[in-house]
Amino acid sequence: MLKKIGFKIDRVRKNYLKALINLEYTESWTMGFPNDYSRNFQVLMLGRAIKRLYKEIELKATTSSFLTINYNMISASEVGNFVFCPVSYSIQKSLLVDEDPESNVELIWDEKKILLDRINAYKKAKNINHAFSSEEMNKIGTLPKSIGYILSSKILQENKKNKKSIIFYNKANDFCGVPDYWLSNNENFVVEEKFTRYNENKVSSENEYLNHKAELLAQMIELDKLGAKNGYIIYWLWNFEKVRYENRVSTDYRLRNVKIHEVKLTPENRKYYNQVILNIRDFNTKKAINFNVNSLKPNKCINCGVSQYCHHKTGLIPQIQLPYNKK
Ligand code: SF4
């Protein structure tokens, strides 16, 4: 099946398969279960991997719908896409994509308790403990300091549940964007809310993901109407856990920790952002850039929301084009 998708290089195919069946993750998923569950979950994960490959083969056999690309206009989320992977940027700029919830867990987590619910819970009780359940507090331990500041802020606009959010434009710079949250607490700021699988490294990590930082910087620098001088990235770290319901035991997503990174408009951050936007505009003009096939990371590709549209993950295509092209 992997060969049918285009994985012709043995090493690349093997690494991708290893990441796909993700035995390490399967083990962590079975944490706390009786031993005899472990085998069943591994079989389940293999089944899911096969289903995913089937879907990808089917999708690649159909003709994708191409979008009319506006090469001048760039959005804040596109900046994030480009930093995450320029191939992802090209795919999302070119094709009408239907992101796969199997690979983009945010699509599932959006159904769960999000920052907006916690802000509303805090507003009612004026108590941070009411924004988190006692079960969550036991797992998290100490909450990040900035959570109180964020929860006690006034919502100027939220783009998580509000279907009529205003899109902000900077016409002079051909730029647009909508932050997840535009908040105010003495001064205006923006928040991006992200969901990621829990592991110890993520808890101890000092740094945010660069694509999230770039997206936030784009909002602060380009969307001057927001008046945002700083921003925060909230990472909700989740895990699958055994959950006891009245008559049964099941697995469900549960919050394990929360990390918050502040992003300021420092000269270094401005310099970093200016280089990113320059690279994107250069790509939009030339409509082709080189792609370093050695930079591919199978675990990243597995968790990429547009992986099923991507031909570059096979390691065979050293150039990226606009509109997206598999050659
Ligand atoms: S699957 Fe991998 S190479 Fe393709 S867009 Fe996603 S991260 Fe980039």
Question: What distance in angstroms lies between residue 88's CA and the mean position of ligand 1's atoms?
Answer: 6
Q: Is the CB of 304 under 6 A from ligand 1?
A: yes
Please identify every stretch of the chain with a pLDDT value under 70, giving residue numbers as ranges.
Answer: 22-42, 99-112, 250-251
Question: What distance in angstroms lies between residue 178's CA and the mean position of ligand 1's atoms?
Answer: 24
CA angle 284, 289, 295 (to 5 degrees): 125
- In order of 106, 194, 323, the CA distances from 180 in angstroms are 13, 10, 28
Mutation choice for ligand 1 from 304, 319, 321, 324, CB with most ligand atoms inside 8 A: 304
Query: For residue 126, how far is the Cα from the chain centroid?
Result: 30
Mutation choice for ligand 1 from 93, 306, 309, CB with most ligand atoms inside 8 A: 306
Mutation choice for ligand 1 from 88, 90, 100, 317, CB with most ligand atoms inside 8 A: 88
CA angle 315, 302, 232 (to 5 degrees): 115
User: What was the pLDDT predicted at 112?
Assistant: 67
**Each residue of 218-244: pLDDT tens digit?**
999 999 999 999 999 999 998 777 777
H or E element, residue 241: strand 230-244
Q: Is the CB of 87 under 6 A from ligand 1?
A: yes
Which residue has the CA at smallest separation from atom 2 of ligand 1? 301
Q: Is the CB of 85 under 6 A from ligand 1?
A: yes
DSSP letter assigned to residue 161 = S
Q: Is the CB of 310 under 6 A from ligand 1?
A: yes
State the SS3 of 94-115: HECCCCCCCCCCHHHHCCCCCH
* Both tokens assigned to 54: 């089937």
User: What was the pLDDT predicted at 28?
Assistant: 47
Q: What is the pTM of this model?
A: 0.89
User: What was the pLDDT predicted at 109?
Assistant: 54
